[in-house]
Amino acid sequence: MTLVDTTRQSNAQALYGHGARKFWVHGTGALGCLPQKLAIPRDDDSDLDGNGCLNTYNDVARSFNGQLAAACRQLRQRMADAAVVFTDMLAIKYDLVANHTRYGIETPLMACCGHGGPPYNYNHFKMCMSAEMELCDTDAKFASWDGVHYTEAANAVVAAKVLTGEYSTPPVRIASLVNSTIANDG
């Protein structure tokens, strides 16, 4: 178990000790699909997957999420009367990139507000809202606002998927967690 997992478990147990019984834990997203990461200079494109995302970053995110999901399983065992839900944000956000046209997103890997133009419109030295910024048309459909944060359109897709519970373990809709307790899945 990593220090991060140990710290998260200790924090959850401290909250549990103070009466908290409902925990909704989000994993990290598809970091290898962020324009900020894609714009880092590289020797070649051999690390890019079929959707244009960096395998190395997404592999690390998958590993982190796997460890976090395992920590959540352990917490469910220790805190039998609590609901501990893990949500796989990487799967949600990667699906947004891989199937962007399904969600009305035209440009999944390029920042709306940035500098440098295609393919990523991201410059590490000229951030969004600087004097040199290039802002996309308001009717353009981007997934990334500034190379790191998602646009309103992308966040609406992500939120809708989170709320379904389809990407959560155990699979539970957030509304049911708020309004009641769930059975512990051990």
Convert the pLDDT of each residue in 127-149 to its tens digit: 787 776 767 776 669 999 999 99
The whole-number average pLDDT for the span 68-95 is 95
Q: Which pLDDT score, from 0 to 100, does residue 114 have?
A: 86
Residue 75, H or E segment:
helix 55-78
Residues in the chain: 186
Q: Report the DSSP pairing between strands 168-169 and 83-87.
A: antiparallel
Model confidence at 5: pLDDT above 60: no
Task: Tell me how many degrees the CA angle 35-37-43 measures, rounded to the nearest 5.
Answer: 110
For residue 151, the SS3 value is coil
Q: What is the pLDDT of residues 38-80, one digit of tens each?
A: 999 999 999 999 999 999 999 999 999 999 999 999 999 999 9
pLDDT band at residue 184 using 50, 70 and 90 as cut-offs: very low
Q: Which residues contact 129 (CB under 8 A, 6 or more apart)?
A: 113, 146
Q: Is 140 exposed, middle or buried (0-12, 13-18, 19+ CB in 10 A)?
A: middle
Single out the residue of 23, 109, 11, 118 nearest to residue 73, CA to CA: 23
